[in-house]
Structure 1
Amino acid sequence: MDHDDSAAGSTDVLERLGAFSDRDDWPAKGWCRIERSLDVIGTRSAMLVVRELFYGGSKFDELARRTGLSEAVVAGRLKQLYADGIVDRRPYREAGKRTRDEYVLTERGRGLFPIVVALVEWGEGLRDDHRTGVELVHRDCGTSLSAVVTCEKGHEVPVDRAAVRLKGEEYALAGLRRGSK
């Protein structure tokens, strides 16, 4: 497969600032927010369940059917997503049947929406036929949604204008010193 890397260059990575400039001093294991996020939602099956919850699915049977996953896998993912605060369970009962749980996204789960939008948007570049598939749109005007990275002041920030630094650098440095003694 050919890749167009002509626009790629050293400016297309995050600039490291402060103590994080020496990357080898800071292994990611155990404190990286990306790592922690992937621990919660980093499996294909977890994201498929989350997708179906965003698409309005709520009952176990429909989640299993619409994801194409086995019931055992869906049950495991729902248990994990519940434990991590991504979904909540609400009891319901259909006439003549036992009480069961339906699953709904919590506020934390709804916080995954920008990630879902970004995955759909990025996935568009993987398709050969862009005429079909799911499209996320603004209900009010009908135009496609897109994920945009902004700073807290509202500026759009492309990767070549972004940087990475340690959060709580003094605390992190103190921990590094304690660990090296």
Structure 2
Amino acid sequence: MTDSALIRRSPVPPGDCNLAKSFALIGDRWSLMILRSALYGLRRFDDFQTELEIPRTVLSSRLAGLVESGIMERRDYREDGQRTRVEYPLTKMGQALSLPFIAMTEWGDRWLGDGHSPLTLRSKASGERLRVALVDEAGKAVRPADIDTVITTRPGGRKT
């Protein structure tokens, strides 16, 4: 096995990198755990707090940040005979995080698990187990060895 060439700088500066921006937005432990639970369907403050055992002040702060960023929304609800309360459903932007979270789950199953995955995704049509893969525009899976990274130039000549 050969080592790859030494790289001294990333091809995309962190300030221009959308992955870095994503990490800055949702990359702390509690925000990621809240989003994980929300992707499973949790929406209510007390449900997040009970499941995650997160301090209420921390939960309140993280939910406010996720709402401000557009990943979740703050919505009032009221059950019969109860006072008005707030729930935090995912927006379309938040729901779009399901694919990267599924990819992280697959990674964790492979590298951190004990050989048993508590969650399996299957095709409704075929019943076959699903996995995350990169596909070309025609929908054909591409092997990692066949991937070429192309650095594009922004208007004004700056590389991204």
TM-score normalised to structure 2 length: 0.81
CA distance in 2, matches of 1:143, 1:73: 40
Name 1:152's counterpart in structure 2: 137
Equivalent pairs counted in the alignment come to: 159
1:98 matched to 2:92: no
2:4 to 10, 14, 18: 10
2:135–2:141 CA contact under 8 A, matched in 1: yes
Q: Which segment drifts farther, 22-31 or 55-64?
A: 22-31
CA distance in 1, matches of 2:111, 2:43: 29
Any idea what SS the aligned residue of 2:80 has? coil
Greater strand proportion: 1
Q: Which has the higher contact order (CA 8 A, sep 6+)?
A: 1
TM-score normalised to structure 1 length: 0.73
Amino acid paired to 1:101 = V
Name 2:34's counterpart in structure 1: 49
CA distance in 2, matches of 1:152, 1:163: 14
Q: Which of the two has higher C-alpha Rg?
A: 1
CA distance in 1, matches of 2:10, 2:115: 44
1:112 to 97, 121, 137: 97
Compute the RMSD of aligned alpha carbons: 2.9
Greater helix proportion: 1
CA distance in 2, matches of 1:78, 1:137: 31
Amino acid paired to 1:51 = R
Structure 2 stretches lacking a partner, 5+ long: none
CA distance in 2, matches of 1:102, 1:57: 9
